[in-house]
Amino acid sequence: MKPKVIAVVGPTASGKTKLAIDLAKQVDGEVISADSRYVYKGFDIASAKPTIEEMDGIPHHLIDIVEPEVDYSVADFYDDARAKIYEIIQRGKTPIVAGGTGLYFRVLLETYDLPRVEANPELRAELDLREKEDLLEELKLLDPIGYEKVKDANKRRIVRALEVTKILGKPFSEASKEKEPEFDVDWKIPYIESREVLYDRINRRVDTMVEQGVIEETKQLLEKHGRIKNFVCTIGYQEILTYLDGEATLEEALDKLKQHTRNYAKRQLTWFRRNPALKINY
């Protein structure tokens, strides 16, 4: 019999945090974060990381576990989250995996078997310098099937697909295998009336971030860490930096932030629609 896990998924600003906490209270659960930004210390307001007050006494895991300089990979998440699931079950509690990073769920709870290929720092640095569209073009030539799988993903994921393809000398899609899911998953997604309602929530969340101090947070991170990749590539910080650099007015930067967040939500929905267990009405 497979171990039971609850998964709470959905796009940004859909209410995942509240749903996960409500469920945890009902089933004596603990929450494992499946958000690629929550792992980083200091990435608080821009990532909409839940506060201690919002957690409401429910234990949360994989939040604030690494410094922004660390390249926390999907493989790192898989190893850490899997260990946490069994640790929580051993304590007689229910593990609830909650977040919006689609690939994390595919690797941990679905059928995707992650290729274990050591990173090549020189090759990765070379690929990082190129534009996303250029990387996709090359991947499409080398691995059309792999291209279809990652074309809607972020640049980091595309870089990794090309990196694996070049290191192995064969298509990334051939290195990626299917596996039998390890857990019995009860999939949950917050109810949203429409796409328009979601977008309105996103716009209001950005306004709230400004009130909470996201501009000051960006300044502090810039001073402490400099323009490291994980910082400047995070939605929220990259737009505020254009304001701090004098490249945009605050209004222009916030409009861009709202637009980029809405686009990100669309990409998240694309990921989650692939899961037949999820009924998404918007």
What CATH number has the domain bearing residue 42? 3.40.50.300
Q: Any bridge partners for residue 5, and if so which?
A: 185
- Between CA 126 and CA 141, with CA 230 as vertex, the angle to 5 degrees is 40
- At residue 279, the pLDDT reads 81
102 shares its domain with 206 = no
* Residue 177 confidence (pLDDT) above 80: no
- At residue 185, the pLDDT reads 98
144 shares its domain with 49 = no
DSSP-assigned letter for residue 243? H
Mean pLDDT confidence for 9-31: 97
| pTM as predicted | 0.87
Quote the number of domains for the chain. 3
pLDDT confidence tier of residue 85, bands split at 50, 70 and 90: very high
- At residue 240, the pLDDT reads 99
Both tokens of residue 76? 């790192």
* Residue 17 confidence (pLDDT) above 80: yes
* Residue 176 confidence (pLDDT) above 80: no
* Residue 172 confidence (pLDDT) above 90: no
Residue 169, domain extent: 121-175
Phi and psi torsions of 250, nearest 5°: -60, -40
